[in-house]
């Protein structure tokens, strides 16, 4: 039984990845063949041609993700510090409010946001896409930032204050360096969530703004499965790399304080 479970888990994890790699390098693969009849890099060359739109989509994805991180963390750092340090009467309710975007299906939320942004002239703009990406990004940013500040050793802060350091100086020299690894992890989560976001970009950004998930969707709907697979692999690279970084930065003591 353990061997069967291990085999099943391996199939669930590596089966889709194997199929993705096969499609990414398949030159010819037609039914009823079980495997590609010809491999090559022709579709990779097509993806990165100047007129293919991959470079523009990649630039848009990275730029929007970085802007989303900047906006989300600018709001999450003071919010996380306040939730971790101040005795707020409705702290649990505030933390719950930040979870609401994840508690409901994203489709109706983004449809209503698209209608509102249309009236504000934000549809088809980078500003609108960054704002809609920041909605789910704030969930990760605020919760992890709160946990990071909660994990800071308060005795060091008290020692700095007793030695005459002002509140801002204590925050900058003592609190922020200790919370920094958690804040880095929060930034990475927001970045990955933004760079993979499809629904919000589809309703708010298209057709004026195309990101890699939009490019992958269009290729898949057009039957260009090789191009869709290549785009998926490109999106997979930062996800794997950053998750390894998160494993190093986000320690167990920080994780244990999420939601407290």
- pLDDT of res. 240: 81
- Phi/psi for 55 (5° steps) reads -65, -40
Dump pLDDT digits (tens) for 29-49: 777 777 777 788 888 888 888
- pLDDT of res. 63: 95
> Do 190 and 72 contact (CB within 8 A), yes or no?
yes
Least confident of 17-26, 84-93, 180-189, 231-240: 84-93
Q: What percent of the chain has pLDDT over 90?
A: 21
- pLDDT of res. 249: 59
pTM of this structure = 0.83
List the domains of the chain with CATH numbers: 1-40 (no CATH), 52-255 (1.10.3720.10)
| Of residues 107, 183, 101, 99, the one with CA closest to residue 149 | 183
Please give the Cα distance from 244 to 225 (Å, whole number): 29
E strands present in the chain:
26-28, 38-39
- pLDDT of res. 246: 67
Dump pLDDT digits (tens) for 53-97: 788 898 999 999 999 999 999 999 998 888 888 777 777 777 777
Please give the Cα distance from 69 to 193 (Å, whole number): 10
Please give the Cα distance from 251 to 150 (Å, whole number): 13
């Amino acid at each position: 039984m353990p061997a069967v479970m291990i085999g099943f888990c391996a199939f669930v994890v590596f089966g889709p990845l194997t199929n993705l790699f096969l499609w990414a390098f398949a030159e010819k693969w037609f039914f009823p063949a079980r495997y590609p009849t010809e491999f090559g890099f022709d579709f990779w060359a097509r993806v990165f041609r100047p007129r293919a739109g991959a470079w523009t989509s990649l630039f848009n994805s990275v730029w929007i993700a970085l802007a989303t991180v900047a906006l989300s963390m600018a709001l999450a750092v003071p919010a996380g510090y306040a939730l971790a340090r101040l005795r707020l009467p409705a702290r649990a309710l505030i933390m719950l409010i930040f979870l609401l975007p994840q508690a409901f299906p994203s489709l109706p939320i983004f449809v209503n946001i698209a209608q509102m942004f249309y009236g504000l002239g934000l549809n088809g703009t980078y500003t609108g896409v960054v704002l809609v990406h920041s909605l789910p990004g704030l969930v990760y940013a605020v919760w992890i930032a709160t946990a990071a500040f909660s994990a800071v050793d308060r005795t060091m802060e008290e020692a700095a204050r007793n030695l005459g350091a002002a509140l801002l100086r204590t925050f900058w020299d003592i609190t922020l360096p200790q919370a920094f690894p958690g804040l880095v992890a929060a930034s990475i989560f927001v970045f990955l969530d933004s760079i993979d976001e499809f629904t919000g970009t589809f309703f708010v950004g298209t057709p004026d703004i195309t990101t890699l998930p939009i490019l992958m969707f269009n290729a898949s709907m057009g039957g260009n499965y090789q191009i869709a697979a290549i785009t998926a692999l490109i999106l997979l690279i930062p996800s794997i790399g950053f998750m390894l970084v998160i494993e190093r930065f986000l320690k167990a003591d920080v994780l244990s304080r999420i939601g407290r």
